[in-house]
C-alpha cells in the first residue's frame, strides 16, 4: 500500500464520484471533494463550478493528484458541453500547472471513439491508438480532453492517465454493457493504478472489467498495474433473454458508442 495521498476528486456528488468516495479511502487516499452541487453529509466539500478559476486554484493547492470526474456525462447542447467539458478541463489544467500538481486522472469516455466499429467474430480488440471518432458533442469533448492532456504533458510535464471508461455502474443494464462494463470495484482498482503507477506521461487506457465479451484492449491499463477481477458474464443470460443478442446490421449495435451513435444531436432551443 503506498503512503496516503491527498487527491482532489471532482464530480464527487455524481454517480461515479459517489462510488469512488466509498471505495478509494480503503487504498489510503485522503479525498478533497469538489462539485458544483453540495454533497449531503460532506460539509468540507468544495461547492464550486469548473468555471470558477479562483476556486479551482485553491482546490488543487497542495494535492498530490486530481481524479477529474466532473462534467456533463451525456450528450447535451454544444454551448453547455463547451463550458463544462472543454473550458472546464482547461481551467483545471491551468490551475494544476500553476500549483505544480504532478498528475491528473481524466475521466474520458468510450464515446471519444464511439463511431469505431465494434469487433465482430475473430476481429482483434480495439487498440487505444485507434483514431478519435466521437459520436456526439459529448464524445468530442472527451477527445478534446485527451488532446489537452497530451499538450500539458508535452509542454509542461504534467502527467495524465486518460481513462476511456466504458459503463461504470453497479451492474450492466444492457447487452452492449456486457462488453464495456467496469465494475465499481475494478473502477477503484483502475483509478488507484492510474494514480500510483510510475512515469505515465500521457497514457490512454480503456476502463472496463475483464469481460468475456470485451471489445477493447486492456493492455495499456494492465501496464499501469491494473488487474481487473470482475467479468459481466454472470449477467449475460438474463440480459440476452430480455434484449436479444446485438444485431450487426443496426448501427447502434455495430459501433462502440451504442445509441449515442444514432441519437440525434441536441440543438439549443
- How far apart CA 150 and CA 124 sit, in angstroms, is 26
Q: How far is CA 141 from CA 1, 7, 95, 209, 240, in A?
A: 34, 24, 19, 24, 32
The reply on whether position 254 binds ligand NAI by CB under 6 A is no
Q: Is 77 in the site for ligand NAI (CB under 6 A)?
A: no
- The answer to whether the beta carbons of residues 162 and 106 sit under 8 Å apart is yes
Cβ distance to ligand NAI smaller for residue 14 or 228: 14
Using CB under 6 A as the binding rule, whether residue 70 contacts ligand NAI is answered as: yes
Known catalytic membership, residue 138: yes
Is 67 among the residues that bind ligand NAI (CB under 6 A)?
A: no
Q: Which does 228 bind (CB under 5 to 8 A by kind): ligand NAI, ligand 15L, none?
A: none
Q: Which of 27, 29, 93, 138 is catalytic?
A: 138
Q: Choosing among ligand NAI, ligand 15L, none, which partner's interface includes residue 92 (Cβ < 5 to 8 Å by kind)?
A: none
C-beta atoms surrounding 130 within 10 Å: 14
167 neighbors 107 (Cβ within 8 angstroms): no
Pick one of 11, 134, 172, 258: the residue that binds ligand NAI (CB under 6 A).
11
Binds ligand 15L (CB under 6 A): choice among 68, 103, 111, 192: 111
Residue 213 engages ligand 15L in binding (rule: CB under 6 A): no
Minimum distance of ligand 15L from residue 169's CB (angstroms): 8
| Binding flag, residue 161, ligand NAI (CB under 6 A) | no
| Interaction of residue 195 with ligand NAI, rule CB under 6 A | no
> What strand order describes the sheet that includes 46-47?
46-47, 30-35, 6-10, 65-68, 103-109, 159-165, 202-207
Helix (H) or strand (E) holding 103: strand 103-109
Per-residue burial over 45-63, b = 16 or more CB atoms within 10 Å of its CB, e = otherwise: bbebbbeebebbbebbeeb
Whichever of 248 and 257 has its CB closer to ligand NAI, that residue is 257
Distance of CA 127 to the CA centre of its chain: 17
Instruction: Give residues in contact with ligand 15L (CB under 6 A).
Output: 73-74, 109-111, 167, 258
What positions carry a catalytic annotation? 138
Amino acid at each position: 500500500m503506498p503512503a496516503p495521498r491527498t487527491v482532489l476528486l471532482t464530480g464527487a456528488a455524481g454517480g461515479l464520484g459517489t462510488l469512488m468516495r466509498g471505495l478509494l479511502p480503503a487504498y489510503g487516499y485522503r479525498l478533497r471533494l469538489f462539485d458544483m452541487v453540495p454533497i449531503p453529509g460532506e460539509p468540507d466539500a468544495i461547492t464550486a463550478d469548473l468555471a470558477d478559476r479562483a476556486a479551482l486554484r485553491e482546490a488543487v493547492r497542495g494535492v498530490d493528484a486530481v481524479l477529474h470526474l466532473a462534467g456533463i456525462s451525456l450528450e447535451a447542447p454544444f454551448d453547455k458541453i463547451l463550458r463544462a467539458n472543454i473550458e472546464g478541463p482547461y481551467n483545471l489544467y491551468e490551475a494544476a500547472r500553476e500549483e505544480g500538481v504532478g498528475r491528473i486522472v481524466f475521466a474520458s469516455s468510450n464515446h471519444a471513439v464511439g463511431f469505431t466499429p465494434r469487433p465482430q467474430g475473430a476481429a482483434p480488440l480495439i487498440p487505444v491508438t485507434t483514431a478519435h471518432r466521437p459520436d456526439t458533442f459529448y464524445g468530442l469533448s472527451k477527445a478534446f480532453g485527451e488532446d489537452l492532456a497530451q499538450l500539458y504533458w508535452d509542454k509542461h510535464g504534467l502527467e495524465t492517465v486518460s481513462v476511456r471508461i466504458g459503463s461504470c455502474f453497479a451492474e450492466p443494464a444492457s447487452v452492449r454493457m456486457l462488453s464495456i462494463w467496469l465494475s465499481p470495484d475494478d473502477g477503484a482498482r483502475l483509478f488507484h493504478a492510474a494514480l500510483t503507477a510510475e512515469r505515465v506521461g500521457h497514457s490512454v487506457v480503456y476502463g472496463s472489467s475483464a469481460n468475456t465479451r470485451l471489445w477493447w484492449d486492456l493492455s495499456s491499463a494492465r501496464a499501469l498495474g491494473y488487474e481487473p477481477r470482475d467479468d459481466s458474464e454472470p449477467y449475460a443470460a438474463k440480459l440476452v433473454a430480455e434484449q436479444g443478442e446485438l444485431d450487426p446490421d443496426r448501427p447502434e449495435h455495430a459501433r462502440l458508442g451504442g445509441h449515442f451513435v444514432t441519437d440525434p444531436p441536441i440543438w439549443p432551443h
